[in-house]
Structure 1
Amino acid sequence: MTAHDNQVAIEAEARAWLIKLFNDSPDEQLKAEFSHWLNRSDKHRQAFIRSEKLWRQLGLLDNLAELSDMLPPQPIQRSKPSINVSAWLGMAAAAILLVTGINWQHKTLPVSQQVVQQFQTPEHTNTAITLSDGSRLVSAGQARFSFERKDNERYLAMQSGTLYFDIAHDVAHPFVISSAGSRIQVVGTEFEISLQDDQMRLSVHEGLVQLSALDTSRAEQVVMLAAGQQQLANSEGRLLGEVRQFDSKSTLAWLQGRLSYDGTPLAQVMAEINRYRTTPIEIEDPELAVLQITTSCRLDQIEQMLSGLLLAHDLRLVQQSGRTLIQQSE
């Protein structure tokens, strides 16, 4: 097969995937198969981007008809996609366009050798990602993590950032997360992990999540969190405080494209703003770190919100030795 013929075949596969995802109700196996196909090469990703862009330009139903005519004759039941399917495909497309640093190994590997996906998401926006097992993640601004399937586990190592997880249910293969000295294990559920400074925050939105602190100098620390519960741990593998309830509407507002705070310490506000900024803002004054902040904004209004916050609390930003500091105005 010539290079041209191979490219034509890939383009046809991309169109077929687009139609299949919109005309079927994709289960976890279909999502995993699509994710595997999508990430086989840059040619696959670019072909799907072009098909998805064409869909957006022409409109969903018209585009489905046009794409169907391009494929070999086959019975296709056309129907308007459900909101859930449309949203899921949108997340897949966002992952193609926004995720950087994905590293797939394509050559045949020995059984004992594992394929590791490396992810680094950009700042300024939320990024949606579908892993090869069908699990869905959303990154709040910049984050770094890796994913692999090894032995009987699905394993994700989280280095930085904030991630929301919607884990594909698979009893035979638990989903394990290594994060800042802690081990999180689930089968299928929804939760958020946020790494800020030397601290990890686990917030469970749905289902049950087991958190184990890995500090071997202490007695085993294991807690089971249910929906609406939250736990903190430090990077040394120690649980901080007791399990507590959390306000999901405020904590998870970023999933809806907003940041929302009600009497929140400035240190936490700055940490979350920094997820979306190229240059982080630092707080050196401990008295400012605990300043209570009440505000709300869309993600595309962060800089305007920051300006208003500075004005309301008589604060200023200072550039010092390549760092951006927030200080009380003189």
Structure 2
Amino acid sequence: MSKKSTAQPGEPAPNPLLDEAISWCLRMHGEDADQHRAAFEAWLSLGGVHRQVYSEVSELYGFGEKLRGVDLDRTADQTQEPRHAFHGPRWKGPALTAALAIFMGIGVFYFEGKREAAPDRLARRALGAPGQLQTALGEIRTIRLDDGSMVTLDTDSLVTVEPGRSNRRLRLERGRIRLAVATASRPFVVAAGAGTITTLGSLFDIGLSRYQEVDMSFLRGTAELRTAGKWSALRPSNATRVAKGYRASYGPDGRTAIAKMARDELAATDWPSGLMSFDGVPLAQVLGHANRYGVVKIILADPALGQRRFYGTVRLNDTRRLAAVIAHALSLQLLEEGGTIRLSPT
């Protein structure tokens, strides 16, 4: 009868998925990474949990200098490829134990940092002029409104809460918000740019650019969209109904576009957590998101690097940390000078 394996005193509890993620992380940071990329992407495609664990391990690797002292020799046959389960090389014995210990030790700091960077969930108003809510650059904050609705302000955003007897009303002045509207008989009206969104209870994101362009993603419930401008008039008869799973946009002229949300757009709806997942997204797009949050900006020495694909779940409001993660994941050089981080080929 085979003996059931158990962790010895002082050893970390077995975690097969973490074991696999560590093994892939080391392989994909090795010199022969390109030879294993197809198999690696097949492993990532097994599910969101695989991508989440790998991205966390990859980030820890970037800051785990102690890993330089771990024996990276692995004993299993490297010719097998993962299909529906992981069949690649597995760490065994002391090397795996040491690696897990290092990762778990660094992870204490990492996850504590995540908690500190989480949105402010206190039911209080942000500092600002009377009736206004705002966030600073890199800040994400959630506030409970008087009617029980919750509004999450993205980085550098500003909203005005306007009084109204017949409805609940809010105006987006700058940036992006997520609004979880408390269900009630009185409609909730959000004004942004050349239009308004009216709902009795729903969940949606809405952003306003400096050019007065509005973009919305509807995550729950339905709402009515009305615009005013060259292409429409702000009246009940021109209301457009938008439902869960769709995005809508319009500009100053009032012309409206509605489309079903794509897979990558659905992934981008994680932003209130301070984290964003990228599943093979071009690096230029990743940096476009990150540079909205950071005082220190990340640039590419060679624009062609922007086409490199990045996998991972990362915090966007710490661009120094993000740049280090990207540099390790894509084997790039990192140089910070003059308030800018430059990534260049090795």
Give the structure-1-normalised TM-score: 0.54
Identity %: 23
- Residues paired across the two proteins, number: 220
Instruction: State the Cα RMSD in Å.
Output: 3.7
Q: In structure 2, how many angstroms separate the alpha carbons of the residues matched to 1:265 and 1:180?
A: 30
> Where does structure 2 lack aligned partners over 5 or more consecutive residues?
1-119
Of 134, 139, 154, the match for 2:153: 139
Q: In structure 1, how many angstroms separate the alpha carbons of the residues matched to 2:327 and 2:252?
A: 31
Amino acid aligned to 1:218: W
- Counterpart contact for 2:208–2:215, Cα < 8 Å: yes
CA-CA distance at 1:166 after TM superposition:
0.8
Partner of 2:53: none
Q: Is residue 208 of structure 2 the alignment partner of residue 195 of structure 1?
A: yes
Q: In structure 1, how many angstroms separate the alpha carbons of the residues matched to 2:231 and 2:142?
A: 37
Give SS of 1:211's match.
strand
Q: Is residue 191 of structure 2 the alignment partner of residue 178 of structure 1?
A: yes
- Counterpart contact for 2:249–2:256, Cα < 8 Å: yes
Q: Is residue 222 of structure 2 the alignment partner of residue 208 of structure 1?
A: yes
Q: In structure 2, how many angstroms separate the alpha carbons of the residues matched to 1:140 and 1:176?
A: 19
Of 115, 126, 129, the match for 2:140: 126
> Where does structure 1 lack aligned partners over 5 or more consecutive residues?
1-89, 105-116
User: Do the aligned partners of residues 269 and 224 (structure 1) sit closer, same or farther apart at CA in structure 2, a change above 3 Å counting?
Assistant: farther
User: Do the aligned partners of residues 327 and 299 (structure 1) sit closer, same or farther apart at CA in structure 2, a change above 3 Å counting?
Assistant: closer
Structure of larger gyration radius:
2
Partner of 1:92: 122
CA-CA distance at 1:185 after TM superposition:
1.4
Amino acid aligned to 1:277: G
Partner of 2:261: 245
Q: Is residue 282 of structure 2 the alignment partner of residue 255 of structure 1?
A: no
- Counterpart contact for 2:298–2:319, Cα < 8 Å: no
CA-CA distance at 1:130 after TM superposition:
1.2
User: Do the aligned partners of residues 91 and 244 (structure 1) sit closer, same or farther apart at CA in structure 2, a change above 3 Å counting?
Assistant: same
- Counterpart contact for 2:278–2:311, Cα < 8 Å: yes
Amino acid aligned to 1:309: I
Render the CA deviation track for 1:266-325: whole Å, top value 9, x for unaligned: 565344323432356689x997777764432135654322334357386878878xx959
Of 125, 148, 160, the match for 2:174: 160
Give SS of 2:224's match.
strand
Q: What pairs with 1:75-114 in structure 2 (closer than 5 Å)?
A: 91-93=121-123, 95=124, 99-101=126-128, 103-104=129-130
User: Do the aligned partners of residues 270 and 300 (structure 1) sit closer, same or farther apart at CA in structure 2, a change above 3 Å counting?
Assistant: closer
User: Do the aligned partners of residues 260 and 218 (structure 1) sit closer, same or farther apart at CA in structure 2, a change above 3 Å counting?
Assistant: same
Q: Is residue 232 of structure 2 the alignment partner of residue 230 of structure 1?
A: no
User: Do the aligned partners of residues 295 and 217 (structure 1) sit closer, same or farther apart at CA in structure 2, a change above 3 Å counting?
Assistant: same
User: Do the aligned partners of residues 273 and 207 (structure 1) sit closer, same or farther apart at CA in structure 2, a change above 3 Å counting?
Assistant: same
CA-CA distance at 1:192 after TM superposition:
1.0
Partner of 2:293: 276
CA-CA distance at 1:186 after TM superposition:
1.2
CA-CA distance at 1:190 after TM superposition:
0.9
Amino acid aligned to 2:171: A
Higher relative contact order, chain-length normalized (CA < 8 Å, sep 6+): 2
**Structure number having the greater strand percentage:** 1
User: Do the aligned partners of residues 124 and 118 (structure 1) sit closer, same or farther apart at CA in structure 2, a change above 3 Å counting?
Assistant: same
Amino acid aligned to 1:91: R
Give SS of 2:159's match.
strand
Give SS of 2:137's match.
coil
Give SS of 2:322's match.
helix
Give the structure-2-normalised TM-score: 0.52
